[in-house]
A and B are shown apart, each in its own frame.
Chain A
């Protein structure tokens, strides 16, 4: 275990200390007084490694991360879990824009709200399924170009508008689950709005229980249905956009 006082440290120094600590076999890293440092946990790899962040981390938290866990006791800024491969990020506050861009695996749990372009171009392949669960509401372009993985939007905190404009535009893989029914008529015609079935709920249960435990929420309240499911209407939304040129 190591505790690092991040006060006044540039991200380059801070991340170097984190990388060196992990390389030396330390499994628990506590960061105090974090104040906007970028790239915390960038590209770190390994099992049973946990970084606990006190303060507000800067952009690209957990970018390219492969295995470890990060717990943030406050809000986070933009690009959390950018192109993350595996591991887990738990955020007790709100998250900024572009969470989990191109994410390929692992979990991101956000207790509060999140900004624009959450989970865009998430991927998934066989057993590798990235999961994002958001407690509150999200901004526009939720799940844009989503190609795989699963997102859950819980709408706790009695949010009135669950999501902004352009929900699921260009979505061509994966699934989005909602705990509240929304009027989907104004949204993308590239997706379908369904009621979640027993298989869906069996899949989600494990993650929702973990989410409830992480944030001290009542698991009955969280799992109690019904849930709604949004899936792409086609794996090839733009297949008919083109014709072969004669030149």
Chain B
């Protein structure tokens, strides 16, 4: 095989320019983070092999002169040997490397949210009009008492006998998922922080430390402690509304992470506290956590450091035994458990892990909620569900399956322009999201995209209220874990059983 034919078949897309329309403004050259375009003296030339179909060029082409086409040069079709199998074998045989990619798995596994239908009221128990009636989405994350004991004060008003454990107050049951500075740009983090502040929700800063410019957003930030302990110190732990211990990630359960040295510039180096140019390595385990008892030790080390004033969350990937694992985490003292499902996103993961390890969030949630109820400890911790929440319907189904809130990662990036090209690991993101190249990051305006993020969460919250109204309930609290309001379609008996829902019509 000659090098040229290999390169040719590697061109997944063709960047086709209509030279009759093109005014040679060269905006495409400037906008493409991949170096696809160059100027050939009298016209724009495209190197197809570099195109990843990120959509930046045609979005910003003033003449609509660019089309990105799927390369029509076919590999011989074979239902078993997909072209990505063949191409990855070629790449790996040339480099000897582990094949990595960004974003959640693109493979078409069954999406259980798409096989779950919601209930609505007709006649007997009337729906509620959310435009006329108050509809409550307010959500509190944290340990709740097993029962409420009341006293009455001098004015005869009821007051709690025992203090309520610390909570995070959300105006609507959404948070922005953990994405570190390093994996994404500071401007992308700022956009989420601005939106979170305006919405009265929170973002999770991820495991890469807290940049100085993010400190003022502390009331809307959950800080994270992962195995690399980047940027973690006493002040960091106290700078947000909660602390999260990251054990696992849905896209790569059981493995760590390497932020490549070329992404570690001066600013990230300072925020993570490692020398510039070195790989930022997060080992697979926390080497001080080899058991549930050790996890408890770290949870309480953090609680001592924050004087028990804020909840502590533990983030895990959804894996086969997730119900027993979460039960252990709750018993270890976590106030919140964040469960990241199989299709969750990532800045970089070996595809062999991403596409083959873990279980879907829908199943994990149903099993965890059920187990915690059976053990009588569901009140001990709140559950956050994540792993490609694509619509408000996914979110509301997750809540009915047992989640207290959902986390939005990929969807938030889509707001910022992401076309899910899956090349986050390369650091060339044309949209200025998963890159640290200043000429790319500066094009992401935090205010503009903060407003769009605000709009999205607002829209989804309105949709959620519509659904609640249709169901005849006036509070998201009434739907939590209420699987009676869900029905399955095109699911087997085993699937219905594991999800704890009835088939449609029953």
A interface residues, Cβ below 8 angstroms from B = 11-12, 15, 19, 38-39, 42-45, 59-60, 63-66, 78-79, 82-83, 85, 98, 101-102, 104, 117, 120-121, 123-125, 128, 141, 144-145, 147-148, 170, 172-173, 235-247
With the chains together, A102 CA to B207 CA distance in Å?
A: 13
Q: How far is the CA of A155 from the CA of B486 in the complex (A)?
A: 66
Residues of chain A within 8 A (CB-CB) of B88 are 245-247
Residues of B within 8 A of A45 (CB): 234-235
> Is B307 interfacial (CB 8 A cutoff)?
yes
B67 at the interface (CB under 8 A from A): no
Interface of A is mostly: loop
Which B residue sits closest to A45, measured CB to CB? Answer: B234
Most buried by B among A38, A43, A63, A141: A43
Q: Which residues of A contact B230 (CB under 8 A)?
A: 123
For A238, list chain B residues within 8 Å (CB).
258, 279, 281
B427 to A: closest C-beta gap in Å: 11
> Do B288 and A242 touch (CB < 8 A)?
no
Known: A172-B281, A235-B277, A243-B95. 14 other contacts (CB 8 A): A43-B306, A64-B234, A64-B237, A66-B234, A83-B225, A172-B278, A236-B261, A236-B279, A242-B97, A244-B99, A244-B426, A245-B99, A247-B88, A247-B106
Chain B residue total in the interface (Cβ 8 A): 59
Q: In the assembled complex, which residues on chain B have CB atoms less than 8 Å from the CB atom of A117?
A: 287
Tell me whether A173 and B278 are in contact (CB under 8 A): yes
- Which applies to chain B's interface (DSSP): helix, strand, loop or mixed? mixed
Chain A min CB distance to B73 (Å)? 14
Q: How far is the CB of B208 from chain A (nearest CB, A)?
A: 13
Q: When A170-B281, A244-B100, A246-B91 are in contact, do A64 and B233 touch as well, CB less than 8 Å?
A: yes
| B273→A19 contact, CB < 8 A | no
Residues of A within 8 A of B95 (CB): 243
In the bound complex, CA of A118 to CA of B223 (Å): 26
- B275 close to A (CB within 8 Å): yes
Q: Are B279 and A125 in contact (CB under 8 A)?
A: no
Distance in angstroms from B309 CB to nearest chain A CB is 12
- Do residues B297 and A65 form an inter-chain contact, with CB atoms below 8 A? no
Report B61-99 residues with CB < 8 Å from chain A CB.
Answer: 83-84, 87-88, 91-92, 94-99
A141 to B484, alpha carbons, bound, how many Å? Answer: 52
Q: List 19 A-B contacts (CB under 8 A).
A: A38-B297, A43-B306, A64-B301, A66-B235, A79-B297, A83-B233, A98-B288, A101-B288, A121-B287, A123-B229, A148-B275, A235-B261, A239-B261, A242-B98, A242-B425, A243-B95, A244-B99, A244-B423, A246-B83
